[in-house]
Structure 1
Amino acid sequence: MVANDPDRKSDLAGSRPSSRSRSPFNNIKFFVLCHGLLQLAQLLVSGYLKSSISTIERRYGLSSQKSGLLAAFNEVGNTVLIVFVSFLGSRVHRPRFIGGGALLACLATLMMALPHFLSGEYKYTDHISSASDNSSGLCQSESVFTMPASNQSCSQKESPSQQGIYPMLLLGQLLLGIGTVPIQPFGISYIDDYASKRNSPLYLGILLAVTSIGPAFGFMMGSFMLRFYVDIDKFSADEILLDPQDLRWVGAWWLGFLVASCLLFLTSLPYLYFPRNMSKEDAAGDEESRPEKTDPLQELSLLQFLKSFPRIALRTLRSPVFLLVVLAQVFLAALVAGLATFTAKFIERQFTQTASFSTMMIGESADWSPVNQTVWAELGSPVDAV
């Protein structure tokens, strides 16, 4: 019978696209969309931490030196592991590594909020002395709280219950840096491998434009969250006696980390379904199957790669154009990272403004000029960008 003709079945099967080719997970455009959302969530965490740094200082009695180290500590794991990305990039399932890194970043972000639930409720006093137990770790004056914090002179004492908080925050930042290692390099290389030469620059430009607003969104979310009292989960609105204008006010710095962790979790799920090898786009934007290009690094073992890495890096740095671009990006990112971390605190202390207002000013000033877009996009992970 005609219905049982195997030749006819093979013709029909050949004329219809396979279920895999019709799947959105085999489309590089859908990957660009998912990767833009993931990097948006990743950089939102970086911007939110910098917007909350002065509040975390006030809550746990940290110095500016400690808070600056905390803001930069995610680059420790990032810098150590970024070299191995070059070795593993052509050997592993890149989308799944991106998804796994995003899930680790999600757990690290939850760990950043954990100190709030372990340190008990926030206690404030009108004054402290060297003999008193300052459970909040704050440095308060005996005068009415209308004086700028920079003009106050008093002693400070760290509570024993808060001695484990700072290492926990550092560990969260370290895991966050490790989790974000594969996101940018693997994502960009995946797009470059399977997008057509005509569309690849467009996709990368769209990716940069979407992710560049991540830190600004983090500052704006910080401005919103810091309007809520830190112990909003423990007291009703009627029991909160302070207002944001009071120098003893501490905002709900932990709340934004919970929101950001949810965003990271949701944006990481699609990467578990992308294939290891995708059909490459042709010039018209359609998918077509092309033979895979062999990578010479695939033939090297890890030990051979580590031995040859200095020679490869030195040969790459001999290119004057590449070297100047790298130096420009590093210097620019270093400048903006310091400004973004402490400018809000300076506005808060110098002009007696609330933390919410100060972070809102930084978020709005992180505008959308081409230079600022590039800098903000690299603010959360300058090593990856280089």
Structure 2
Amino acid sequence: MIFLDAAATTRVRREVLEAMWPYLTGDFGNPSSHHSLGETAAAALAGARASVAAALGCRPGEVTFTSGGTEADNLAVKGIALARQAANPQLNRVVISAVEHPAVEESARYLERFHGFVVDVVPVDGTGLVAPEALRAVLRPETALVSVMYANNEVGTIQPVAELAAISRHQGIPFHTDAVQAAGWLPLDVKALGIDAMSVSGHKLGAPKGCGVLFVRGRTRLEPLLHGGGQERGRRSGTENVSGAVGIATALTLTQAGQQEQRRRVAALRDTFISAVLTGVPGAVLTGHPSCRLPSVASFCFPGTSGESVLLEVERQGVVCSSGSACAAGSDAPSPVLTALGYDPGVAQTAVRFSFDSAVTAEDLAAAATALRQAVESVRALGIRPG
């Protein structure tokens, strides 16, 4: 099997498992307990927090451990917006882009339904980019928060986050970015990006599912979503997942080693793969930005086919990929991301996404390109279309 669905999840790295193992076995204490086992766990948690802070270029106190990217996005969007509204009831608007992950979009819609917020959606161009002038056009004195993802999970387009955050900061509005897909490939220095909050998920980096991180800049108001014992400096109550914190801290450190070289290597392989698909599959359409894209994502539409049928045929030949976001599994509706980019809904339903981890090889992608060409030819020959 050739696994090309790393944007959905990645294998857990052996180094991560080894780092976590002591806190799943002998050192199993609760970090809030005042005895030797608890103190060992607390020390491990503090070490993980310091390690994450070093990877993000922030202070340890600005790191909150969560159960993953979805919780981190919810805590950032709801927590910052509600805290700012509590301090100033006139702050009742949130800004998101048209291509946000459901964890961000649904958090904003929750604020709209239950807390009287207005959700302002910034459009994107045909490549998925948010233009700085488009962001400026939607900001209001009542805007409590801006949330624009770092890199898109379906088409791979990278947003000019530092430029967008500077616009938001100029107007005194906190800026959050969902960096779940960007982590591992792009720089995460929060000072250089100029952001106030950032979400990261462990299982996209070689850590297990169920661990994540939210960076929140010091003095940024944040209303907790989970109440209880006041763990995580009162921002996220509940007994901490010590092994998960150690796991994501280890994974973040590992991905930063040689990141630039890995990015260049995988991007070159991606470009060769894209060229092979576009030349080998008549009518294939590359989605997302042609150059401002993650090195790890190549996504296409194949008009006149059924994306799901192509996926099944490709998998039959030993290549695993996806039709888009794993968080939309079970839905046969066209991708909101692709329709936001201007694709006809029928064309959007033909989407197939290939996403790679750093271990991908030229041979893997050559085999995938061949399997894809044969799959599309087979589906077209059978006359299978969306619906």
Higher helix share: 1
Rg larger for: 1
Confirm or deny a common fold (TM above 0.5).
Answer: no
Higher strand share: 2
Greater relative contact order (CA < 8 Å, ≥ 6 in sequence):
1
What TM-score do you get using the length of structure 2 for normalisation?
A: 0.21
